[in-house]
Amino acid sequence: MTIASSSAETFGLPINQSVAFSTRKGEFKERLKKQQLKTLEPFAPLLKQFLEPGEEVLLAMRGCSPMSFMEQFTSGWAIYYIKRCVLVMTDRRILHFPARSNFAPRHSIAQIRFGDVETITPASFLSRKFTVKYKNGSKEVFQYVKDTKKMKAVLGAITMASQQPTAFGIRHHLCPKCTAPLTVGEYLCPSCKLEFKNERKARNLSILYPGGGYFYTNHPYLGIGDAIVETILIAMVLLSLANLLPDGDSDAALPGIVFFGLILIIEKLYTVFHAKHYVKEYIPVDREIQPLRR
């Protein structure tokens, strides 16, 4: 039996409690209620801004955003902390919130409209992922999602075919200030003119400053690690150059310059690659955003 929670307890969000706080078989669990509310609480202000009239929250999940093979290969295990996200399923769409390593909001939001979706296929329990296949033929995989079995049950009650598709056809980002859809590759909201961090500056800072691209895209720990590595490599290149002086070891100079210089170039290329991908989450330049009233 479901116990109705007050509006204050649910942060004023329109949560379908009989779905969100129950098992796949519809049995209410206090444990599930606490888990759902804990996941939703940091995102309540954003959800109040973005939810449409009559839209209900059905399920909140933690997981990892879609990532390419190259992102995984060049980042290693750290990518699963970098790509953390919170997914909020409603009766109309899945709201995708890229999050910090502790699942706190990043002021970034995207949506998957059910009208754009052909199928959403949760994988087995052990793999903990689901695949979204869009009507235009493209696919995305969300990994490390713990609630795929519950998700499958919730999806069974949603009729996607009856919902209207968008002009985008795939997951697309929304402006955290005015909620307008953002244009891919353009880092200025077409509606309210909110400015987002862009690929050009991410590339330039990655090249010019050790760790610059990571700091620019709000990944300070990666920035510190990269800055240490790049500083060491730059020092080794300079020491090798110093060996070209008359009193230096000129025989060891050229191999040192080539070896450490090559590693430095590869490190820079990695930083540029990562920073250009991170800005695609549409990170506002201004950290203090005042939402516009709808």
Q: What span, in angstroms and rounded, lies between the C-alpha atoms of 44 and 3?
A: 21
Q: Output the pTM of the full model.
A: 0.89
Total residue length of the chain:
294
Q: For residue 293, is it within any domain? A: no
Say yes or no: 108 and 253 in one domain: no
State how far the alpha carbon of 246 is from the alpha carbons of 49, 183, 242, in Å: 68, 57, 9
Residues 60 and 115 occupy one common structural domain: yes
For residue 124, the domain's CATH number is 2.30.29.30
Pairing of strands 93-98, 139-143: unpaired
Question: Are residue 122 and residue 225 in the same domain, yes or no?
Answer: no
Tell me which residue range forms the domain holding 252: 200-281
68-77, 157-166, 214-223, 253-262, range with greatest mean pLDDT = 214-223
Residues 157 and 59 in one domain: yes
Rounded CA-CA distance 175/182 in Å is 6
pLDDT tens string 19-48 = 999 988 888 999 999 999 999 999 999 999
* Residue 232 belongs to a domain: yes
Of residues 1 and 195, more confidently modeled: 195
- Confidence bin at 148 (pLDDT 50/70/90): confident
Spatial separation of the C-alpha atoms in residues 84 and 144, rounded to whole Å: 9
The span from the CA of 227 to the CA of 230, in Å, is 5
Q: Tell me: do 128 and 262 sit in the same domain.
A: no
194-211 average pLDDT score? 95
Please tell me whether residues 61 and 99 are part of one structural domain.
yes
Unique residue bearing structure tokens 């201004």: 286
pLDDT above 90: residue 116 = yes
Is residue 184 domain-resident?
no
* Residue 77 and residue 163 in one domain: yes
Query: Looking at the structure, do residues 262 and 151 belong to the same domain, yes or no?
Result: no
154 and 88 within one domain = yes
Number of folded domains that form the chain = 2
